[in-house]
Chains A and B, each alone.
Chain A
Amino acid sequence: MADLTSDFLGIKSPNPFWLASAPPTDKEYNVRRAFEAGWGGVVWKTLGEEGPPVVNVNGPRYGAIWGADRRLLGLNNIELITDRDLYTNLEEIKRVKADYPDRAIIVSIMVPCEEESWKKILPLVEDTGADGIELNFGCPHGMSERGMGSAVGQVPEYIEMVTRWCKQYYSKPVIVKLTPNITDIRKPATAAKMGGADAVSLINTINSITHVDLDLMAPEPTIDGKGSHGGYCGPAVKPIALSMVSEIARHPETRGLPISGIGGVTTWRDAAEFMVLGAGNVQVCTAAMTYGFKVVQEMISGLSQWMDEKGYESTADFVGKAVPNVTDWQYLNLNYVTKARIDQDACIKCGRCYAACEDTSHQAIAMKEGRVFEVMDDECVACNLCVNVCPVEDCITMVEMPKGDTDPRTGRQVGDYANWTTHPNNPMSVKAAE
């Protein structure tokens, strides 16, 4: 069986599945249960400064969106950092780490952007024996109004400054957690690297309003008739997270910087996707909050089976393997021609491909006698919408046209690789030397 052991920044854990800094990791009781269930590590819920802890709302903290059968697709959260005393947390961390030396414990921290504040808390954290720290520069609600969380993550200079302090006053790995509430994730990631960060973790949650109560005329979750944006997470944010992870993994300034992937990881497959895009491990929250800690068992067995099938002996064998295939649009092969093919045996005749193509795309599917749906190659631009709306997996596939064949839509032969940079329609195209 494949070896799932993970070595992230020298921090060993029996598998690459960590619980993210969030409600599930707020206290000893939960973390012990998580370790018993099999989680490889946890990032302890964010600690704040010494003194009276923050307070949370006493109304609902979460909002959600659902798919069919009320499957939770996205969760939104207005909970703040830990609302428990700093020293209680520190004592618990120390105890749990002592009892679970083989598991990773990272401590998430958020204190004001003042050197003194960091200088004060870091030795206390160091004393717990935890394996590293994660700087919470991502939390988008509440704490950001106080100049912390995503308010720091949105200013690369602050990221670099605080990271530098942490590297100065703390001896173990420093992970910088990034907010997605920015336009270019490469900027904060570069700043973290400049500050000396050992790794970045991303994404933190996204500013969001999940619903509006149409009777109260107020956003949900609604607190006494008012609502505030929350942080969005869960399966719905995974595509955004994957893209941001890949950006950092392939950007010249940040390439090679270790990444802890976060954002909607729900199954082993999600984890594998983050990892092949460059994440050394993954952090999970919503899946655990939805299904309980037991979900990690499926992640472990699934990743392990896939690794065996593919012949990967350790996670390092596949981390970053898809990064070279993430490119800019301009380099995509414009001579790669595919056509949709409908497997008539698998087709259940719902006609969704037809409706989608006829109403919103290229009128490339014919509806024939007996509800037989067929692709018209001379109209099909291979947009893939029919594949996406078909309820039956693999019923519709995109089939590549062999080189040299004539595309009935364009009347042109399928040629060799050629992209936009040299295309005649591109006013900026690179002309061959005359």
Chain B
Amino acid sequence: MTNSPLTPGIVPGRLPADEIARGFSDLHPPMDQHEAQVAADRCYFCHDAPCMTACPTSIDIPLFIRQISTGTPEAAAKTIFDQNILGGMCARVCPTETLCEEACVRMTAEGDPVEIGRLQRHATDTLMAKNTHPYARAAATGKTVAVVGAGPAGLACAHRLAMKGHDVVMFDARPKPGGLNEFGIAAYKSTNDFAQKEVDWLLSIGGIKVETGRALGSGLDLNQLQQDYDAVFLGIGLAGVNALGVPGADLDGVADAVDFISDLRQSDDLSKLPVGRNVVVIGGGMTAVDAAVQSRLLGADSVTIAYRRGADRMGASQFERDLAASKGVRILTNLQPVAVHGDGAATEMELEYTTEEGSRLIGTGETVRIPADQVFRAIGQALEGELAGLEIRKGKIAVGENGRTTLPGVWAGGDCALGGEDLTVTAVAQGRDAAEDIHTHLTN
């Protein structure tokens, strides 16, 4: 391979394979026993702990940390899984800096929180390494529930339902289950095929049948599901991608960030994955950062994130932005896309400076062009699929308490449902709570 970061166009192997491998190693490496002990010692075992309140799944964090500190990480893991069966993935991908760790009283005390995320990983890894499943199923209820979408919401819902004694059939459009855990997050957050291992471990409770390659409007009909199953849960995520809507958006080299991230996650040899010399990512959320950082790690010479509003409005957390900056990603704000230029393939991205008046965004008319042979759209995803009969509000499925939709017998949760942040941990909470509600509904 003779490519380098400076090779023009979109080419693979810009960096030596070992350097790529180093770049994509664990972002938050696992703690060994000693590190975990030292970190656990810092927890104050707060009353009505703020970290627990900040956790969308309400994991009893002080209790699980105390269990780690007393040499029972397996019991700690059970405390975590009781609330969040995807506690292993959440330990890796949760923006803890804006959730539990931000709320940690040690932040007030010293500006340095207890490392809750990594401690959670220590506990869940320890239990999962034993290759046993900590939950048993209740006596069979004879009910069967359809779960559409095998992402975090669907998996959490299916597991809880299976635990309650219901049978579950889980459908997913993709060739394998996992949803965004498998296809949608940066590779350095889920190394060693963890997402699939976690799914396998979760499914080992039994009673959950997975059918892939099926989606609403593509082999599945919502009304039919309502008739065929005792209840339906929709955790279909946001499968569509918002369009850029500027001239040149159809040029070669312009792509969806989620597809790039998915290709990256499914690649078994990252040195064969092509990336541009000059990459521009349009957007300001976690997806934008994931795409930008990974482009750099693959060897792109320059990577720029362009966000149309100010930094304070970015969806990506401060931690994520710092991570991007530390990898050499340039973050430009108050710049909105005007056009992609190029002859057949993209060569430049033209952006217009903006100002904001309240929530109103105003183009200043002044533009700038930056070299771009690869442009990633990361300006948000949209609901997709055949959803006739469901009330859609603000581009999402309207839900009431515990994810009940406007259709009888149909629940929804995760990114596709209105309410809560679009986070793995929120999806897990919604899937779990919907399952509890479905259970109540089916057994009363």
Residues of chain A at the chain B interface (Cβ within 8 Å) = 68-70, 348-352, 354-355, 367, 371, 391-392
> Beta-carbon contacts of B38-54 to A below 8 Å, as 1s and 0s?
10011011111110000
Which of the listed residues B37, B44, B47, B49 has the most CB atoms from chain A within 10 Å of its own CB? B47
- Structural contact, B37 and A352, CB atoms closer than 8 A: no
Q: Residue A350 contacts which of B37, B38, B41, B47 (CB distance < 8 angstroms)?
A: B47
- Structural contact, A69 and B105, CB atoms closer than 8 A: no
Q: Which residues of A contact B45 (CB under 8 A)?
A: 352
Beyond A348-B108, A349-B50, list 8 extra A-B contacts (CB 8 Å).
A69-B41, A70-B38, A348-B109, A351-B46, A351-B48, A352-B47, A371-B48, A371-B50
Shortest CB-to-CB span from A308 to chain B, Å, is: 31
Shortest CB-to-CB span from A356 to chain B, Å, is: 9
Q: Residue A391 contacts which of B37, B41, B49, B109 (CB distance < 8 angstroms)?
A: B109
- Structural contact, A68 and B41, CB atoms closer than 8 A: yes
Shortest CB-to-CB span from A161 to chain B, Å, is: 50
A351: nearest residue on chain B (CB-CB)? B47
Shortest CB-to-CB span from A395 to chain B, Å, is: 10
| Docked pose: A108 CA to B425 CA in angstroms | 65
Q: Which residues of B contact A392 (CB under 8 A)?
A: 109
Q: Which residues of B contact A69 (CB under 8 A)?
A: 38, 41
Q: Residue B44 contacts which of A70, A350, A367, A371 (CB distance < 8 angstroms)?
A: A350
- Structural contact, B38 and A354, CB atoms closer than 8 A: no
Q: 29 A-B residue contacts at CB 8 Å? A: A68-B41, A69-B38, A69-B41, A70-B37, A70-B38, A348-B105, A348-B106, A348-B108, A348-B109, A349-B46, A349-B50, A349-B108, A350-B44, A350-B46, A350-B47, A350-B105, A351-B46, A351-B47, A351-B48, A351-B49, A352-B46, A355-B47, A367-B47, A367-B48, A371-B48, A371-B50, A391-B44, A391-B109, A392-B109
| Docked pose: A349 CA to B108 CA in angstroms | 8
- Structural contact, B47 and A354, CB atoms closer than 8 A: yes
| Docked pose: A367 CA to B49 CA in angstroms | 13
Q: Which residues of A contact B47 (CB under 8 A)?
A: 350-352, 354-355, 367
Q: Which residues of B contact A348 (CB under 8 A)?
A: 105-106, 108-109
| Docked pose: A351 CA to B44 CA in angstroms | 9
| Docked pose: A367 CA to B44 CA in angstroms | 17
Q: Which residues of A contact B38 (CB under 8 A)?
A: 69-70
Q: How many contacting A-B pairs (Cβ < 8 A)? A: 35
| Docked pose: A352 CA to B41 CA in angstroms | 16
- Structural contact, B41 and A349, CB atoms closer than 8 A: no
Shortest CB-to-CB span from B86 to chain A, Å, is: 28
Q: 6 tightest CB-CB pairs across the interface, nearest first?
A: A351-B47, A355-B47, A68-B41, A348-B108, A350-B46, A348-B105
Shortest CB-to-CB span from B262 to chain A, Å, is: 42
| Docked pose: A360 CA to B233 CA in angstroms | 46
Shortest CB-to-CB span from A13 to chain B, Å, is: 38
| Docked pose: A352 CA to B46 CA in angstroms | 6
Shortest CB-to-CB span from A386 to chain B, Å, is: 12
| Docked pose: A69 CA to B38 CA in angstroms | 5
Q: Which residues of B contact A68 (CB under 8 A)?
A: 41-42
| Docked pose: A352 CA to B109 CA in angstroms | 14
| Docked pose: A354 CA to B47 CA in angstroms | 7
Shortest CB-to-CB span from B63 to chain A, Å, is: 13
| Docked pose: A234 CA to B255 CA in angstroms | 66
| Docked pose: A356 CA to B60 CA in angstroms | 19
Shortest CB-to-CB span from A73 to chain B, Å, is: 13
Shortest CB-to-CB span from A389 to chain B, Å, is: 10
Q: Which residues of B contact A351 (CB under 8 A)?
A: 46-49
Shortest CB-to-CB span from B230 to chain A, Å, is: 43
| Docked pose: A70 CA to B50 CA in angstroms | 26
- Structural contact, B108 and A352, CB atoms closer than 8 A: no
For window 6-64 of chain B, which residues contact chain A by CB distance below 8 Å? 37-38, 41-42, 44-50
| Docked pose: A392 CA to B44 CA in angstroms | 11
For window 106-132 of chain B, which residues contact chain A by CB distance below 8 Å? 106, 108-109
Q: Which residues of A contact B44 (CB under 8 A)?
A: 350, 352, 391
Q: Which residues of A contact B46 (CB under 8 A)?
A: 349-352
Shortest CB-to-CB span from B338 to chain A, Å, is: 46
Q: Which residues of A contact B109 (CB under 8 A)?
A: 348, 391-392
Shortest CB-to-CB span from B380 to chain A, Å, is: 34
| Docked pose: A246 CA to B321 CA in angstroms | 60
B47: nearest residue on chain A (CB-CB)? A351
Q: Which residues of A contact B48 (CB under 8 A)?
A: 351, 367, 371
Q: A371-B50, A391-B44 are in contact. Are A349 and B105 (CB under 8 A)?
A: yes
| Docked pose: A371 CA to B104 CA in angstroms | 13
Q: Which residues of B contact A349 (CB under 8 A)?
A: 46, 50, 105, 108
B42: nearest residue on chain A (CB-CB)? A68
Q: Which residues of A contact B41 (CB under 8 A)?
A: 68-69
For window 236-257 of chain B, which residues contact chain A by CB distance below 8 Å? none
B62: nearest residue on chain A (CB-CB)? A350
A71: nearest residue on chain B (CB-CB)? B41
Q: Which residues of B contact A355 (CB under 8 A)?
A: 47
Shortest CB-to-CB span from A68 to chain B, Å, is: 4
A354: nearest residue on chain B (CB-CB)? B47
Shortest CB-to-CB span from B431 to chain A, Å, is: 30
| Docked pose: A315 CA to B38 CA in angstroms | 39
| Docked pose: A352 CA to B48 CA in angstroms | 9
| Docked pose: A351 CA to B47 CA in angstroms | 5
B106: nearest residue on chain A (CB-CB)? A348
Q: Which residues of A contact B105 (CB under 8 A)?
A: 348-350
A353: nearest residue on chain B (CB-CB)? B47
For window 197-253 of chain B, which residues contact chain A by CB distance below 8 Å? none
> Beta-carbon contacts of B340-351 to A below 8 Å, as 1s and 0s?
000000000000
A359: nearest residue on chain B (CB-CB)? B47
Shortest CB-to-CB span from B247 to chain A, Å, is: 51
Shortest CB-to-CB span from A397 to chain B, Å, is: 18
| Docked pose: A289 CA to B117 CA in angstroms | 36
Shortest CB-to-CB span from A355 to chain B, Å, is: 4
> Beta-carbon contacts of B403-421 to A below 8 Å, as 1s and 0s?
0000000000000000000
| Docked pose: A363 CA to B68 CA in angstroms | 30
| Docked pose: A351 CA to B51 CA in angstroms | 12
Which of the listed residues A348, A349, A355 has the most CB atoms from chain B within 10 Å of its own CB? A348
| Docked pose: A348 CA to B45 CA in angstroms | 13
| Docked pose: A354 CA to B106 CA in angstroms | 17
Shortest CB-to-CB span from A76 to chain B, Å, is: 20
Shortest CB-to-CB span from A275 to chain B, Å, is: 32
> Beta-carbon contacts of B81-113 to A below 8 Å, as 1s and 0s?
000000000000000000000000110110000
| Docked pose: A202 CA to B46 CA in angstroms | 39
B39: nearest residue on chain A (CB-CB)? A69
Shortest CB-to-CB span from B210 to chain A, Å, is: 42
| Docked pose: A70 CA to B37 CA in angstroms | 9
Q: Which residues of B contact A367 (CB under 8 A)?
A: 47-48
| Docked pose: A355 CA to B41 CA in angstroms | 19
| Docked pose: A354 CA to B109 CA in angstroms | 18
Which of the listed residues A68, A348, A350, A352 has the most CB atoms from chain B within 10 Å of its own CB? A350
Shortest CB-to-CB span from A358 to chain B, Å, is: 8
Q: Which residues of A contact B50 (CB under 8 A)?
A: 349, 371
A356: nearest residue on chain B (CB-CB)? B47
A349: nearest residue on chain B (CB-CB)? B105
| Docked pose: A392 CA to B105 CA in angstroms | 11
Shortest CB-to-CB span from A218 to chain B, Å, is: 18
A395: nearest residue on chain B (CB-CB)? B109
Shortest CB-to-CB span from A381 to chain B, Å, is: 20
Q: Which residues of B contact A391 (CB under 8 A)?
A: 44, 109
| Docked pose: A348 CA to B113 CA in angstroms | 12
